A and B are shown apart, each in its own frame.
Chain A
Amino acid sequence: MEHDLKDLENAKSFWYADWAFPIIVGLMSAGVFAGTSMYYNYGVGAFNEVAIVAMLKAGMTGGSYGAAAAFGASFLFARILEGSLVGILDLGGSILTGVGIGIPAILLSMDITAPVKNFPLALLTGLIIGVIIGGIIYTVRHFTIGQSKATFGADVMMGAGNDTGRFLGPLIILSAVTASIPIGLGATAGAAAFYAWKKPIAGGAIIGAMVLGFFFPVKL
């Protein structure tokens, strides 16, 4: 009885229904795309890892948007496929990287700056993109649901994704030592302190590098 009631509620209410999914993805995408717009205008607010935002930064500072565009768009594609099959759309790969980095990079590489520069337009662009993505998943799901119980290697990808994060700490220190000696020492000390404090060492390396970089500035 309780189950029947819950099923009825699930089918009808916005909070559990499949038809609500495109709306949820739309709202998320609107916020994330607008966050990238803020990053473009003010240098803060991108919803992603430093490493991935740096690819967009490379394009913004005169380089090529190619890496960000290809990386983001392909990730988006892979995650849409996976999301509709496993029932969980990976927020990081699809929205944060695909919509937040890949799509802005594609637009900017084609010199279409308005949707990224203008805040209300960014909200609208993100919303539309998100609703489309959610709609695609809704459709794919309705054609495939119940037909397969496979995980499509989601666990393998998640494991690899988490392993990647571990490499960032040492890489930041290696990169800091090439910036300048004080910054290199700062990053090393910061990472060691964070390690002793049982925190991810990437955070400590960044803070250490920043503090020394503030007192002993370097030129870009």
Chain B
Amino acid sequence: MHIAVILIESIIIGGLVGFAAGVGAARMFNAPTVQALGAFRTLGEMNAAQGDPASHFSFGLGFFFNAWASTVGAGAFTQDVTHRVIPNWAAAGLLMKNKNLAETMHNPKKMGIASAAIGIVVVSFLNVTSSSIPESLQVTAVKVLVPAATILINTVMPIIFWLAAIDAGRRSGLFGTVFGGLAALIMGNAVPGVVLGILIGKGVEEIGWTRITKIMLAAVILLFVLSGFFRGFDIQMLKEFGVNAPQWLKGLHTAIGG
């Protein structure tokens, strides 16, 4: 019964995600004139294997095994299912019949349909095979993966992004450092702040202080102010500086329910 529900839900999910991943990936080959949904690494990798169905298939297969291990272990597909397995297998399937890239891999309609079919099969397979695994395996997975993930996300990722920001130039290093530190304080993780810092720093470096970069900076500052407010960071900060929060600020928090 349990398995039947999982299978039905997997078919729906696989179809939706597969279709969107396929259309989005094919549209990448037409970006930036066409707004696409995908990832730069997907674009690069699909270009690298261009035209050869066997390369596309084996590339997807390698990540499929990895995704399978991760699903059995922790119930997590990895991002590779949508980034690598589905688009590459769909491309392999289409290229077997027709070697013309413009008519196959770059065609959103054909990629969408092929990816929907592959998505259904892949998602159902991963979910059904891994939902029937014993309890002891799940316990091991949690014991091993959760601590590793915590260190990765709280320490390793911020440092890698931070160093990348510093290496990318003075502006992104400066914005990355300021926003990274603030994000770590306010949001509990520095990565989003460093990412926003790179975004603004490189934007200013490439096109200068135009209307777009100014709006972006304003939006980022607004994001920090709002998330600080809703997490009660302002009150906490004043308290730790030994200042009493003014009555109107406390009143504002109670009024909004923060």
Task: Report A44 CB to chain B, min CB distance, Å.
Answer: 4
Whether B37 is near chain A, meaning CB under 8 Å from some CB there, is yes
Chain A neighbourhood of B38, CB < 8 A? 88-91
Q: Which of A91, A218, A219 interacts with B37 by CB under 8 Å?
A: A91
Contact B148 A157 (CB under 8 A): no
Interface centre among A73, A84, A90 (most CB of B within 10 A): A90
Contact A167 B156 (CB under 8 A): yes
Task: Report B144 CB to chain A, min CB distance, Å.
Answer: 5
Contact B108 A16 (CB under 8 A): yes
Whether A39 is near chain B, meaning CB under 8 Å from some CB there, is yes
Chain A neighbourhood of B109, CB < 8 A? 15
Q: Mark A82-114, 1 if CB is under 8 A from B, else 0.
A: 111111111110011000000000000000000
Whether B152 is near chain A, meaning CB under 8 Å from some CB there, is yes
Chain A neighbourhood of B193, CB < 8 A? 74
Contact B206 A152 (CB under 8 A): yes
Contact B148 A172 (CB under 8 A): yes
Whether B160 is near chain A, meaning CB under 8 Å from some CB there, is yes
Whether A129 is near chain B, meaning CB under 8 Å from some CB there, is no
Chain B neighbourhood of A137, CB < 8 A? 35
Contact B148 A179 (CB under 8 A): no
If A28-B17, A171-B151 touch, whether A144 touches B195 (CB-CB below 8 Å) is no
Contact B196 A50 (CB under 8 A): no
If A28-B37, A54-B149 touch, whether A206 touches B70 (CB-CB below 8 Å) is yes
Interface of B is mostly: helix
Contact B139 A151 (CB under 8 A): no
Contact A153 B21 (CB under 8 A): no
Contact A203 B164 (CB under 8 A): no
Q: Which of A46, A58, A91, A174 interacts with B39 by CB under 8 Å?
A: A91
Whether B60 is near chain A, meaning CB under 8 Å from some CB there, is no
Q: Which of B6, B39, B69, B148 interacts with A207 by CB under 8 Å?
A: B69
Identify the stretch in B50-58, B79-87, B91-99, B235-243 within 8 Å (CB) of chain A at 4 or more residues.
B79-87
Whether A156 is near chain B, meaning CB under 8 Å from some CB there, is yes
In the complex, which range does the number of interface residues on chain B fall in?
35 or more
Task: Report A35 CB to chain B, min CB distance, Å.
Answer: 5
Contact B153 A46 (CB under 8 A): no
Contact B127 A44 (CB under 8 A): yes
Interface centre among A24, A66, A138, A218 (most CB of B within 10 A): A24
Task: Report B106 CB to chain A, min CB distance, Å.
Answer: 11
Chain A neighbourhood of B141, CB < 8 A? 206, 209-210, 213
With both beta carbons as reference points, the residue of chain A lying nearest to B194 in the complex is identified as A160
Q: Mark B2-32, 1 if CB is under 8 A from A, else 0.
A: 1000100110111111011101101110111
Interface residues in chain A, defined as those with a beta carbon under 8 Å from any beta carbon in chain B: 10, 15-16, 18, 21, 24-25, 27-28, 30-32, 34-35, 38-39, 42-55, 57-58, 66-67, 70-71, 73-75, 77-78, 81-92, 95-96, 119, 123, 137-138, 141, 144, 147-164, 167-168, 171-172, 174-176, 178-179, 183, 187, 199-200, 202-203, 206-207, 209-210, 212-214, 217-220
Q: A149-B207, A153-B202 are in contact. List 17 more A-B contacts (CB 8 A).
A: A31-B17, A34-B12, A42-B75, A46-B76, A48-B76, A54-B76, A66-B231, A74-B192, A75-B191, A75-B195, A77-B196, A84-B35, A87-B32, A88-B43, A171-B148, A206-B144, A220-B142
Question: 6 closest Cβ contacts across the A-B interface?
Answer: A213-B140, A74-B192, A87-B32, A153-B202, A31-B16, A28-B20
Cross-chain pairs A/B with CB under 8 angstroms, 21 sampled: A15-B23, A31-B15, A45-B75, A45-B123, A49-B76, A54-B150, A67-B189, A77-B196, A88-B40, A119-B9, A148-B210, A153-B199, A153-B203, A160-B163, A167-B156, A171-B156, A172-B148, A179-B140, A179-B143, A213-B141, A214-B134
